Chain A
Amino acid sequence: KQEVTQIPAALSVPEGENLVLNCSFTDSAIYNLQWFRQDPGKGLTSLLLIQSSQREQTSGRLNASLDKSSGRSTLYIAASQPGDSATYLCAVTFTGAQKLVFGQGTRLTINP
């Protein structure tokens, strides 16, 4: 079964720290992987999309990496701020599935 897992479910760090969020997936045959942010009670905001041929993507303080062979992606957040507090979701399009499969998310809290 094609699944996406995010561990830990929740993470709390002091402001200013660099941090890494993890995403693992069960099948290395993927089209792409997308990271989203979700604030409480709101919709999803797309952060980064990595195609299967790419190793990483960067946007501002965010950097996402992709290692298909190990079935892993990481989202690196530099110099974290309280405004980064949100739930971060990873989603994968597996080859042949033609749809996004979502992880359960990591709820991130940045403490001032």
Chain B
Amino acid sequence: QKEVEQDPGPLSVPEGAIVSLNCTYSNSAFQYFMWYRQYSRKGPELLMYTYSSGNKEDGRFTAQVDKSSKYISLFIRDSQPSDSATYLCAMRLMDSSYKLIFGSGTRLLVRP
């Protein structure tokens, strides 16, 4: 079993739809949870991060962490064609290694 599981998609939605992206994980010691966006053949860029449990909102993006269920989500409201990319969840322990464990990534396509 992988430490972090993520549905690879692809997920195709019409413009303006609400998108829900999810990851589950097995290591209850993870404390930092991040969402990265990666365009084709580019490096990932950080979208959202959350420490421990709770919700965080930034513009059209909302990140949720449910540590009791070992489940994290990213919601995108009013999705745009420019949101079409691969979304990677990542998480890490609260140690000095800074090592990230990534999900497999979900490919999102927002149709005009």
Say if A and B assemble together: no
Give residues in A with beta carbon < 8 Å to B: none
Interface residues of B (CB under 8 A from A): none
